[in-house]
Amino acid sequence: MSTMSDRTVLLLSGPNLNLLGEREPDIYGSATLDDHLAGATAAATARGLTLEHVQSNHEGELVDAIHDARGRCAGIVVNPGAFTHYAWAIHDALAAFDGPIVELHLSNPAAREPWRHTSVVAPVAAGTIAGFGAAGYRMAVEAVADLLDR
Contacts 24+ apart (CB under 8 A), 20-23: 20/106
Per-residue pLDDT at 30: 85
Higher pLDDT, residue 45 or 112: 45
Q: Is 67 a catalytic residue?
A: no
Per-residue pLDDT at 1: 34
Which pTM does this prediction carry?
0.92
Q: Where in the chain are the domains?
A: 5-149
Higher pLDDT, residue 137 or 28: 137
In the beta sheet, which residues pair with residue 127?
102
Identified catalytic residue from 53, 105, 117, 137: 105
- 3 pLDDT exceeds 80? no
Higher pLDDT, residue 18 or 3: 18
Q: Is 28 a catalytic residue?
A: yes
Across residues 132-150, what is the average pLDDT?
96
In the beta sheet, which residues pair with residue 10?
52, 76
Identified catalytic residue from 28, 36, 91, 137: 28
Please say whether the dihedral angle defined by the alpha carbons of residues 119, 33, 143 and 108, taken in this order, is positive or negative: negative
5-149 has which CATH code? 3.40.50.9100
